Chain A
Amino acid sequence: MARRYDARTTIFSPEGRLYQVEYAMEAISHAGTALGILATDGIVIAAEKKVTSKLLEQSVTSEKIYLLNSNVICGVAGITSDANILINVARRYAQQYLFSFDDDIPVEQLVQRLCDLKQGYTQYGGLRPFGVSFIYAGYDNYFGFQLYRSDPSGNYGGWKAACIGANNAGAQSLLKQDYKDDITLKEAKELAAKVLSKTMDSTTLNSEKRMYCLSGGRETVIASVIHRKIHFERFSTMWKCVVANPSLLFSYLVEFATIQLNAEGKVVYNLYKPDEIDALLKELNLGGNSTEEEAS
């Protein structure tokens, strides 16, 4: 039934749906989770990135969390190449505003401009929509810390805690349970790590597998699998290909970033390095160390 109406993005279906936009959101639901939590003194964004091969060159640059401006960061879920285009556009908008007004762009304005662009691709031109959802975290002098979420349709909303990508419904309900209005940044980081650990591995809550999944560093992940052959059996239920060919691993890596004000009232953005993520996860007893003793 949908077949006749999904060829062109600029047509409504009889039920009043835009199929291309919905298919774009479907594409995003296969991508790694990204979530953001608004605290009283800052915002945290945590994201899971899926690296599919150990041959892939692991560089320092991030794949999920980006700086848009000195006062705004964003987390990405979806087609990375589409995301790169939009991020570059967002950066230019923010700098253009700075050039014209000598002031940092208010967060909502940046979100609106990007969403207006995304909306254009659903109404004219006959081009497909961008297959990316964003979570924007920013600070401005007018409304303080703000968290927004946008999707391929060009709709956006302000949130206290939001999630995009795979398992986002599950993560959203977990966030709803545990979020409280006066949450501090430290508690928000813990909550983000906990929710991420649950959504990354919703089938089993085996502590060891969780540790394996959440290790922030690539080397630690590989070591824990290769040196402990016993764990292949446990992993085989989920990743059959892994047993057959140990070199092909799904190694799950986490990205973490926070935005807050420093002592002088200046906005500070911190993208966590792998060892900092490991330290954070170890602190929360969620893993992060390859030399962990065998768990029961």
Chain B
Amino acid sequence: MSILEYNGGVVLAMAGKKCVAIASDKRFGSNYLTISMNFPKLYQATDKTFIGFSGLATDVQTLIEKFRFHINMYRMNEERDIEPNTLAHLVSSTLYERRFAPYFVEPIVAGLDKNNDPFICGMDLIGCTTMNYDFSATGTGEDQLYGICEPLWQPNLEPEELFEAISQAIMSATNRDCMSGWGAVVNNTRESDHAYAEDPHGLIGLLLVRQINAVRIETLHLYAKLLTDQSLADVSIRNIMTVAVRHREVFYDVVSSCGM
């Protein structure tokens, strides 16, 4: 088994219309043994940019701290946040500096540039960048991810549609890969706000797959109303799901009352 597969894990990023989403699984293991089920591999670099690292966990942690250093220095010197393509090049140079004793990580940089257009860049362990316009996947379940992303992705997805697509993709792929899984973290960055959803028990995939019938919609409506104080007429299904997912504690109640 290669050292890149020792701890397991996957990272996936997808681009939509004026939005971008990045997701990682939460497994941290030592070969076949699962040590932690709460080890997300994403790092929020700036308000609009994320880096996800798959591969050897110690290098993931060290590189997160190393990039925090560089991003803070950049912000103080240039008095602005780093752009995603600049960050991608920084990550690439940092990895190539260790060309002959590399960090065993394969990162993905995903973010919105200053025009809020999506930017995704996947890399190998020595910094070769591939700037895909649609999606990018790395990790032990890379093949499965590419397989499921291909039919699920379409151009110009809205933020909620993108969220569904990326969640479906990562849940399905990690189900077919023994070295990754145990839930997913999806960071969905859009122009208007920053939606953040966390799903400790991998339930998002279930919710999205199953249909919601009329009875359950009412329950969700009630919760949404309580949470957001909007009138029932305003709340669409997508909003309910996004809202419910955002409030983690309530989410379990919602799911259990829906009988899922």
Asked whether any CB of chain B lies closer than 8 Å to the CB of A67, the reply is yes
Q: A95, B79: Cβ atoms under 8 Å?
A: no
The complex places the Cα of A189 from the Cα of B254 at a distance, in Å, of: 50
Instruction: Indicate if A92 sits at the interface (CB-CB under 8 A).
Output: yes
Report A-chain residues with C-beta under 8 Å of the C-beta of B33.
none
Q: Across the interface, which residues of B come within 8 angstroms of A99, CB to CB?
A: 65-66, 68-69
A residues 54-92 in Cβ contact with B at 8 Å: 60-61, 67-70, 88, 91-92
Tell me how far the C-beta of B86 lies from the nearest C-beta in chain A, rounded to whole angstroms. 18
The answer to the question of A98 belonging to the interface, with a C-beta cut-off of 8 Å to chain B, is: yes
Bound together, the chains give a CA A69 to CA B69 distance in angstroms of: 11
- A95, B66: Cβ atoms closer than 8 Å: no
- Using Cβ atoms and an 8 Å threshold, which residues of chain A touch B76? 67-68, 91
Closest to A88 in B: B77
> Nearest chain-A residue to B78 (Cβ)?
A61
Chain A hits for B72, CB < 8 A: 69-70, 91, 95, 98
Contact of A96 among B69, B77, B79 (CB under 8 A): B69
A98 contacts B69, C-beta separation under 8 Å: yes
Question: How does the 8 Å CB contact mask read for A179-203 relative to B, with 1 for contact and 0 for none?
Answer: 0000000000000000000000000
Flag whether B73 is at the interface (Cβ < 8 A).
yes
A102 contacts partner chain B, Cβ-Cβ < 8 Å: yes
In the bound complex, residues from chain B placing their C-beta under 8 Å from that of A60 are 79
User: Which residues 81-139 of A have a CB within 8 angstroms of B?
Assistant: 88, 91-92, 95-96, 98-99, 102
Q: How far is the CA of A162 from the CA of B72 in the complex (A)?
A: 28
Alpha-carbon gap, A60 to B78, bound state (A) = 12
Which residues 217-234 of A sit at the B interface, judged by CB distance below 8 A? Answer: none
Hey, which chain B residues are within 8 Å of A69, CB to CB?
A: 72
Number of interface residues of B (CB under 8 A): 9
Contacts of B65 in A (CB 8 A): 98-99, 102
With a cutoff of 8 Å between Cβ atoms, the chain A residues found around residue B79 in the complex are 60-61
Q: How far is the CA of A122 from the CA of B76 in the complex (A)?
A: 29
Q: How far is the CA of A113 from the CA of B65 in the complex (A)?
A: 22
Q: Which of B40-82 contact A (CB under 8 A)?
A: 65-66, 68-69, 72-73, 76-77, 79
Q: Return the contact of B73 from the options A61, A70, A92, A102 (Cβ within 8 A).
A: A92
Residues 164 to 218 of chain A near chain B (Cβ within 8 Å) = none
CB-defined contacts of A92 to chain B, threshold 8 Å: 73
Q: Find chain B residues with CB under 8 A from A96 CB.
A: 69
Cβ–Cβ < 8 Å partners of B73 in chain A? 91-92, 95
Question: Could you tell me the distance in whole angstroms from the C-beta of B176 to the nearest C-beta in chain A?
Answer: 35
Alpha-carbon gap, A69 to B76, bound state (A): 8
- B residues in contact with A91, CB < 8 Å: 72-73, 76-77
CA distance A61 to B68 in the complex (A): 23
Within 8 A of A (CB), among B65-115: 65-66, 68-69, 72-73, 76-77, 79
Contacts of A68 in B (CB 8 A): 76
Complex-state Cα separation, A86 to B155, whole angstroms = 49
Chain A residue contacts of B68, Cβ below 8 A: 98-99
B75 (CB) vs chain A CBs: closest residue: A67
CA distance A68 to B75 in the complex (A): 11
A99 to B73, CA, bound (A): 12
Q: Tell me how far the C-beta of A63 lies from the nearest C-beta in chain B, rounded to whole angstroms.
A: 13
B77 proximity list for chain A (CB < 8 A): 88, 91
Q: How far is the CB of B203 from chain A (nearest CB, A)?
A: 29
Smallest CB gap from A91: residue in B: B76
Determine the chain A residues whose CB is within 8 A of the CB of B66 once the complex forms.
Answer: 99
Contacts of A61 in B (CB 8 A): 79
Of all chain B residues, the one with the shortest Cβ separation from A62 is B79
Interface centre among A60, A88, A95 (most CB of B within 10 A): A95
Distance from A159 Cβ to chain B, minimum over Cβ atoms (Å): 25
- A145 to B243: give the CA distance in the assembly, Å: 39
Complex: chain B residue closest to A60, CB-CB:
B79
CA distance A269 to B68 in the complex (A): 19
The listed residue with most B CB atoms (<10 A of its CB), out of A68, A98, A99, is A99
10 A-B pairs with least C-beta separation: A95-B69, A99-B69, A99-B65, A91-B76, A95-B72, A67-B76, A95-B73, A91-B73, A61-B79, A98-B69
| A interface list, Cβ under 8 A from B | 60-61, 67-70, 88, 91-92, 95-96, 98-99, 102
12 A-B pairs, CB-CB below 8 angstroms? A61-B79, A68-B76, A70-B72, A88-B77, A91-B72, A91-B76, A91-B77, A95-B69, A95-B72, A98-B65, A99-B69, A102-B65
Q: A68-B76, A98-B65 are in contact. List 6 more A-B contacts (CB 8 A).
A: A61-B79, A69-B72, A91-B72, A95-B73, A98-B69, A99-B68
